[in-house]
Amino acid sequence: MSSSSDTGRPTAETRPTEPKRPDQSLGELFKEMTAELSGLFRQEVELAKVETRDEVQRTAKAGASFGAGGVAGFLFILFLSTALALLLDQALNAALSFAIVAVLWGIAAAVLVMAGRKKMRDVKPLPETTASIKEDVEWAKSLKS
């Protein structure tokens, strides 16, 4: 088996790296890379816009549930306070009716807040854009090497 010092020719281990596209000039390669990066950037921005719009809609729905739960909670406190005041001041029947209404509002508040919490857990900030950007970084690194 001969080595590179025996024949004077480089072996597979000592041969310089060959270009991947020897038929294109450096200017053409740079132009192509710039065009690809520009297109990639535009796609990333568009993806971020679409993803942000979807997440904002989900967040708005969750916020609406929290808001409705807040209103129901306020009414719960209002009716419960009124019921307690009437219980102390008047006969049991009027107070009991206000207490029943207050308990119903309390149940509504609990259900609405739970629905809001569940919807809020589904909100994920730009998962596709984040994953795509990570892929782009890996792609750019592979171009560099």
Q: What is the pLDDT of residues 55-102, one digit of tens each?
A: 888 888 888 888 888 898 888 888 777 776 676 666 566 666 767 667
Cα–Cα distance for residue pair 25/145, rounded to 1 Å: 18
CB of 34 closer than 8 Å to CB of 81: no
pLDDT surpassing 80 at residue 115: yes
What average pLDDT score do residues 17-23 get? Answer: 69
Predicted pLDDT at 94? 66
Residue 124 per-residue DSSP state: -
What average pLDDT score do residues 8-15 get? Answer: 58
| Confidence class for position 10, pLDDT limits 50, 70, 90 | low
Buried-state track 109-142, b at ≥16 Cβ within 10 A, e below 16: beebbebbeebeeeeeebeebeebeeeeeeeeee
pLDDT surpassing 60 at residue 117: yes
Predicted pLDDT at 1? 47
Domain ranges of the chain: 41-127
Q: Which residue has the higher pLDDT, 39 or 81?
A: 39
Give the mean pLDDT of the chain. Answer: 76
Predicted pLDDT at 6? 54
